[in-house]
Amino acid sequence: MYSDLLNALPEVLSLANFAAVIIGVIAGIVVGAMPGLSATMAISVLVPFTFGLEPLVALGLMAGIYNGAMYGGAIPAVLLRIPGTPAAVATTFDGYPMAQKGEGGFALQVAVVSSSIGGIASAFALMLLAPPLSQVTLLFGPSEVFWVAIFGLASIIFLLGGSPVKGLISACFGVFVSVIGADPIFGTDRYTFGQLEMLDGISIVILLVGLYALPPVIDLLETPLKTETDANKLGTEPIWRTLPRMGRFWKTWIRGSLIGIWIGILPGAGGSMAAFMSYNEARRASKTPETWGNGEPEGVAAAEVANNADTASALIPALTLGIPGTAVAAVMLGGLMIHGLQPGPMLFRENPDVVFGFMWQFLFGAILLVFLGGSLATNSFARLLNLPRPLLGSVIIVLMLIGVYSIHGRMFDVYLMLGFGAIGYVMDKLKFPLPPVVLGLILGAFAEENLRLALRIGRGDWTILFQNVTSLVIVALTIAVIVGPLIKRRYVNKRLKAELGSKTGMEE
């Protein structure tokens, strides 16, 4: 098998195939950097177009776009607090405060280096461990996947923000939105109001663009002209000088890569969950958790390393089993099928040159990210986002429209996005946190579907959820990671209260 890997290399290095990766990475960064455009949208526009291309050119473009966009999403997340892709939501937590402190340039450099490291780790996992890791995926049946989703949902409590009531309202809203569409078991309509367009549920991209991009655009237009110019305060330094300052993130990089790879091989959850989890874990491990959320570079590193670490690994279940790990991987699977590449164990035997070539392209895409992203993004994009505010606003509105329209080619989605935009504006102004909505939408119906499948398999017996080791391990993990700190905090608080008397109530 490893000889197949080496045999595939010369083909990948041919001019056309390598150029495809370079173009893909640049295009991906641009797409990710444009608020409103997403990797999912870019690849779904690209797939029909690749029908006439050589497989490795087509796949190289897609691998490049995927890698590029996962980093590109960080650019507006840092500079405008608009995550360019769903996976960049966690990047806003510390990236935007950094930009406000005048460290936007450093934040972007941390993002690009971390993204690249995550991407490289993930590509190696895909190249070397795809078959054994796909065996891990097989361990996860409906009841196990249900617990993974619960694990993810439980981490919402770390994202509640200042007011738990508002945070929980956000979470309930997100989960409720996830319910819209066809019932996962019976196929009956739930809250579709007779609209066929809503039968497949609300796409995360539509919600994200509405919720995250429209309110800042309104803000751009709301505040009159002549305010701060972010780019002047970017504080960009050459990357070789900032690189040593990143050395201390090595633990976060390793942890984030492992989390990203792990989430990637589990079907359905995807980059946003990986980024949230990596961020939470890194904060928990940090000696100075109080700086997180106020511009801690390690927070950017944690989020960005994880959202790139799930790119290639999401393709492991996609290539070996036909079940994509993320929405982007799902679209890419279409790109493979259009070239007659049927996913499955035989794929590796029948088309080794293409499959292993594709894996190399992922690796090269991740490496190229540092070179292309480092120079391209920090300079040109930051300047682009420094356009006069009304002009920037009006351009982003156009991008939002084509970004949402192009996913399924219908205006219905655009109107839906505007509806979410209005909700998002109110939420933003009244300080309802947005991340719980995103996580709720991604994991709510996902948890429900798997619970109900598990109950069907158990023929209505709820104990099926606790009947095997994998499930119990995840339950234990959930308790340890989520509930543990809460109990500990309460316990510590109580002791502090006892010791210091009146000096509490300062937290949160």
CB of 55 to other proteins, least distance (A): 12
User: Exposed, middle or buried by CB within 10 Å (0-12, 13-18, 19+), for 100?
Assistant: middle
Q: What is the DSSP letter of 431?
A: T
Asked if residues 52 and 90 have their Cβ atoms less than 8 Å apart, the reply is no
CA dist list (Å): 469 to 134, 153, 265, 319 = 18, 21, 19, 27
Q: Which is nearer to other proteins, 226 or 241 (CB)?
A: 226
* Structure-token pair, residue 414: 């655009």
Q: Closest distance between other proteins and the C-beta of residue 388, in Å?
A: 5
CB-nearer residue toward other proteins: 49 or 250: 49
Output 335 or 365, the one with its CB closest to other proteins. Answer: 335
Per the DSSP assignment, residues forming a β-bridge with 182 are 189
Least CB distance to other proteins at residue 305 (A): 28
To the nearest whole angstrom, how small is the minimum distance from the Cβ of residue 374 to other proteins? 23
Which of 207, 213, 205, 211 has the alpha carbon at shortest distance from 35? 213
C-alpha angle 133-136-142 in degrees, rounded to nearest 5? 140
Pick 179 or 481: Cβ nearer other proteins: 179
> Given the complex with other proteins, which of 327 and 370 has the nearer CB atom?
327
Which of 169/258 has CB closer to other proteins?
169
SS3 190: strand
| Closer of 103 and 448 to other proteins (Cβ) | 448
Our CB check for other proteins shows the closer of 11 and 219 to be: 219
Q: CA–CA separation, 395 vs 191, rounded Å? A: 33
Tell me which amino acid residue 467 is.
Q
Q: Coil, helix or strand for 223?
A: coil
Q: Which residues pair with 190 in a beta bridge?
A: 181
CA distance 220 to 429: 14
Q: How far is the CB of 187 from other proteins (least distance, A)?
A: 5
CB of 329 to other proteins, least distance (A): 12
- Interacting residues of 468 by C-beta distance below 8 A, sequence separation 6+: 143, 144
Is 308 within 8 Å of 119 (Cβ atoms)? yes
Query: Residue 280 contacts by C-beta under 8 Å, 6 or more apart in sequence?
Result: 155, 158
The minimum distance between CB 250 and other proteins, in angstroms, equals: 35
Whole-number minimum distance, CB 344 to other proteins, in Å?
A: 3
